[in-house]
Structure 1
Amino acid sequence: MDLRRLRYFLVLAEELNFTRAAHRLHIAQPALSQQIKALERDIGAPLLERNSRGCRLTAVGEVVARETGELLAHVAASQERIRAAVGGQRRQLRLALTRSARGGPVDALLTEFRARHPDVDLVVRTGWTSHNITELLAGRLDAAFVRPPLDGEGLECRHIAREELLVAVPAEHPLARERRITRGQIAAEPVILWPRENAPGMHDVISRQLWPDGGPRIVREEPDDEQLLLSVAAGVGIAPVPEGRARALRIPGVRLKHVTAPMPTVDLALAHRPAGAAPALQGLLGLVGTLLDE
């Protein structure tokens, strides 16, 4: 099977949007569409359900995305071992980002790391916290940005940032006129959220902070923050979103609201296995400490 097509599909599975995926891959959108259709022909089944807002993975597409991530990680590791065997001096750091933390301190940290460690190849992927933890424990990653708390995974976590949690409401909703909203005002509102298994700790933290008297009334689950905010814009319900991600997406028809005290927050951390950190990972952890001190 064509590895290039699989790489294209994996980026599209992360973005769920042809325009953004094509931009990341530095190819034209029609060319990306042709490659994905060719991959579907190779596999013999549709991988995506296309719609006006982007696309969703089919059941087969979910399996292909998961297996492709593992396959490409093995390919990258093999390439690194081959380079080392022939005397290559470059090191590699396999790193995963969490979907809800794109931009902000994470991007700044990686930019600074690349500048200080030009001899290290960063192999970066994006996934939900639970998937990133699985990959870490399996040895297919060196470190991953995650949303704590984590439950008994045996990993070390370095705190990176604390972020305010906003509530996204439809532009025509009565709450859109409020400067700040209370927990009582959203207690019975229909809520859009992502599946709990994606990041159980973060999901529970959000529920406890915003809906302390029984949890949210979830009416729809979406795979990522962009789809979640598009559902808000369509009037399906309201949604909690970390401030940085919500403001970076800038979805029309959505108003972002602060919640009255106590301010709800979510944390961002860098997780890694506790023993035997490779030199490249030690460099990243050292940089985290330096930037936090500054």
Structure 2
Amino acid sequence: MPDSPSRDPWWDLRRLRYFAVLAEELHFTRAAARLHIAQPALSQQIRALERQLGVPLVHRTSRGCVLTEVGQRVAAEAGRLLAEVDAGTDRIRDLVRGREGRLRLAYTRSARGGRVDALMTRFRAAHPDVEVVAETAWTAPNVAGLLAGRLDAAFVRTPVEEPGLRCRFVEAEELLLALPTGHPLAVGRRRISRAEVVDLPAVMWPRDNGPGMFDRTIAQVWPQGGFRLVRQEPDDEQLLRAVAGGDVVAAVPAGRARALKVPGVRLRRFTAPTPTVDVRLAWPRDTTNPAVHHLLAQLDDA
């Protein structure tokens, strides 16, 4: 009577692996040597497998063994099954190492290029099997996506005050003053003082897009007050086009402003202290996604 099926599937797979090696060698001693076990132990495991299946798998001979007809078919099925198990094991190992899997990532609209793009280039090179599903949005929707579990990681403009998230510094970016080409401050000037921008008509994007960055920008560029918002635009490109129209000025991150190269706009630096806004990588505090941790490792190595 065959044994009842084992409750430990890995024990059954081990017996199948022993049998698969024996089917290749057709010799108990040689098979045992390949498996690094004693020959009597191998014999016991093959008999246990035969009892479990309820059929003989091998005929022992003086020179070794031969497979029964059923044994030949079991050996073929065992080979296919073990190959799938080995491939699946490799995939799981790669997943744990971050070499496979999925990273749902969001960039922040105002921060592309520089260390952000360099970080992602290194990550993709180190983990080419990770599927990176990327999108771009403002900080506020990026934070909402992280908290809702729709994103695994996101680049954000800080400060971001969310206890469910952790943030790691990526880079600090200088704020520049964007002026119309014909503005008096754009002619013959390399640096602009805070006092000179007080009460100038200004354009900004809506505060709801990134409250922390909005407030930090105002606090650094207009520390004594005098911020006169007369216009709002949905993104940096439209903001700079508004400046080019000749009616307003704007404080903008240097990388984005220089990359857009909007005609009719002059960029000027501020006098010390240099105003900056941070770019940080944010992720859920309790994440178990290995790709996120490997992205952080790339950031640590920068």
> TM-score of the superposition, structure 2-length normalised?
0.66
Does the aligned pair in 2 maintain the 1:208–1:215 contact within 8 Å?
Answer: no
The amino acid of 2:111's aligned partner reads A
The amino acid of 2:209's aligned partner reads N
The amino acid of 1:186's aligned partner reads V
Which residue matches 1:42?
Answer: none
Which residue matches 1:112?
Answer: 122
Which residue matches 1:235?
Answer: 246
Which residue matches 1:210?
Answer: 221
Matches within 5 A, 1:247-258: 247-258=258-269
Does the aligned pair in 2 maintain the 1:192–1:237 contact within 8 Å?
Answer: yes
Q: CA–CA distance in 1 between the matches of 2:167 and 2:283? A: 7
TM-superposition CA deviations, 1:188-221 (whole Å, max 9, x none): 1000100011100110100010111225101111
Does the aligned pair in 1 maintain the 2:178–2:240 contact within 8 Å?
Answer: yes
Unaligned residue ranges in structure 1 (runs of 5+)? 1-83
Instruction: Find 1:98's aligned residue among 93, 104, 108.
Output: 108
**2:207 maps to 1:165:** no
**2:199 maps to 1:185:** no
Does the aligned pair in 1 maintain the 2:241–2:262 contact within 8 Å?
Answer: yes
Which residue matches 1:285?
Answer: 296
**2:142 maps to 1:132:** yes
Percent of pairs identical after alignment? 55
TM-superposition CA deviations, 1:229-275 (whole Å, max 9, x none): 01101112000111111111111110001001111010000001111
Q: CA–CA distance in 1 between the matches of 2:162 and 2:103? A: 24
Instruction: Find 1:223's aligned residue among 234, 241, 246.
Output: 234
**CA RMSD, aligned part only?**
1.5
Q: CA–CA distance in 1 between the matches of 2:158 and 2:193? A: 25
Q: CA–CA distance in 1 between the matches of 2:163 and 2:243? A: 34
Does the aligned pair in 1 maintain the 2:141–2:209 contact within 8 Å?
Answer: yes
Instruction: Find 2:184's aligned residue among 168, 174, 179.
Output: 174
Does the aligned pair in 2 maintain the 1:101–1:244 contact within 8 Å?
Answer: yes
Q: CA–CA distance in 1 between the matches of 2:236 and 2:287? A: 35
The amino acid of 1:286's aligned partner reads A
Does the aligned pair in 2 maintain the 1:207–1:215 contact within 8 Å?
Answer: no
TM-superposition CA deviations, 1:160-213 (whole Å, max 9, x none): 001110010000000101211111110010001000111001101000101112
Which residue matches 2:74?
Answer: none
**Structure 2 counterpart SS, 1:101:** coil
Q: CA–CA distance in 1 between the matches of 2:276 and 2:164? A: 24
TM-superposition CA deviations, 1:266-290 (whole Å, max 9, x none): 0000001111331111110000011
C-alpha distance 232-167 of structure 1, shift in aligned 2 (>3 A): same
Does the aligned pair in 1 maintain the 2:105–2:152 contact within 8 Å?
Answer: yes
Does the aligned pair in 1 maintain the 2:199–2:226 contact within 8 Å?
Answer: no
Q: CA–CA distance in 1 between the matches of 2:276 and 2:106? A: 22
Query: Could you say which structure has the larger radius of gyration?
Result: 2
Q: Which moved more, 1:224-233 or 1:273-282?
A: 273-282
